[in-house]
Structure 1
Amino acid sequence: MTRFMEIDRENRSVEIGGTWLSRPLWGTGINPEAKFLMLRYAFETEAVIRVQIKSDARNLRSQRAIEALGAVREGVLRHQVILPDGFRRDSVYYSILAEEWPEVKRRLVTRISQGNHRPTPAPGP
């Protein structure tokens, strides 16, 4: 499961996430393909200028997957969410901007078409 969240039409931005995959689906390519379709819709149909993705700071696997999409790590919001057990979660924020989309799209299309579903970090700045 993955979805659009925090839709902000005034500022032409959206968050994608809330992704939960059962372990047998890890590494199968379903996540990058789903994210590609969502990113394409956001940038090419809805004409957003920013897509945001965030992760629990403890979830390094999720962060690697987000970075492999080509998203840029923006920073950490400390104690951003209080979980039901009282834990104060730090959230790592990433984004892809409209001007970055063509290159991100090119990389994702290549990755998906080659069946390279294992995350490889995007090139650094």
Structure 2
Amino acid sequence: MQPWLKPVTLEGNLVKLVPMKKEHKVDLAFAASDGNLWELWYTSVPTPATTDAYINTALLELESGKSLPFTIVDKKTNAVVGTTRYMNVDAAHKRLEIGSTWYAKKVQRTGVNTECKYLLLKYAFENLGCVAVEFRTHFHNHPSRNAIQRLGAKQDGILRNHRIDALGNLRDTVVFSILENEWKTVKTSLEFKMQRGPLH
């Protein structure tokens, strides 16, 4: 049986999402160092020392059909500026989550996030035939929650005491989703935002 998700390159005007590879290690570590992203306690961004393990875990999940990780490349500079992935893949029910997303500080609030999400959502609904796409974030990650809502996703609920983080804190996870029948309107909204220029 053919896997539902296969490595693919998604390309827009600002960015290219290419299949993550081990060779991206140095570039990803450099991108995460722009703003020391791992210092935000409510995110899961690798440090230079943990980038190897981060990539290995992503590639193992790819092999098992649980995720499809991408490295994000800025088309203007050809530099790696972050990563994102399809994850928690449920092929039988045509559902997946877009997550493990982070960007170098220099491309935050430049329109890169909007275009990345647009490319991922478009492929999920129009090529994979998803019936729903989820987004999950830490309850305390208000910038992420706001960005997800600006995409047009609706909040499904909060998973209380969902995880225990590296510091031993209990994490409440906020779950959002976009449904197949909502995609046309969300797509129109995202295309309008991208035409108007960077919003976030």
Quick one: distance in 2 between partners of 1:45 and 1:30? 22
Residues matched between the structures, number: 118
Whole-angstrom distance in 2 between the partners of 1:117 and 1:9:
33
> Is contact 2:131–2:179 with CA below 8 Å preserved after alignment?
yes
Could you tell me how far apart the structure 2 residues matched to 1:41 and 1:52 are? 14
Q: Hey, which bits of structure 1, 4+ residues long, moved more than 2 A?
A: none
CA RMSD, 1 decimal: 0.8
Matched, 1:79 2:153: no
Comparing 23-32 and 60-69, the one that deviates more: 23-32
Distance in 1 between residues matched to 2:165 and 2:84, nearest whole Å: 20
**After the TM superposition, which residues 101-120 of structure 1 pair with which residues of structure 2 at under 5 Å, given as runs?**
101-118=183-200
The 1:28–1:116 alpha-carbon spacing in structure 2 relative to 1, beyond 3 Å, is: closer
Q: Could you list the runs of 5+ residues in structure 2 that have no partner in the other structure? A: 1-82
Deviations 1:35-77 (A, max 9, x none): 0000000000000100000010000000010000000011111
Higher relative contact order (CA 8 A, sep 6+): 1
TM-score by length of 1: 0.91
Matched to 2:111, the amino acid is G
% identical aligned pairs:
38
Residue 91 of structure 2 is matched in structure 1 by 9
Counterpart of 2:33 in structure 1 is: none
Where does residue 34 of structure 1 map in the other structure? 116
TM (norm. structure 2) is 0.58
- Pairing partner for 1:91 from 166, 173, 198: 173
Q: Distance in 2 between matches of 1:116 and 1:28?
A: 5
Number of the residue aligned with 2:127: 45
The counterpart of 1:60, out of the listed 122, 128, 142, is 142
- What is the distance in 1 between the residues matched to 2:175 and 2:184? 21
State the partner residue of 1:123: none
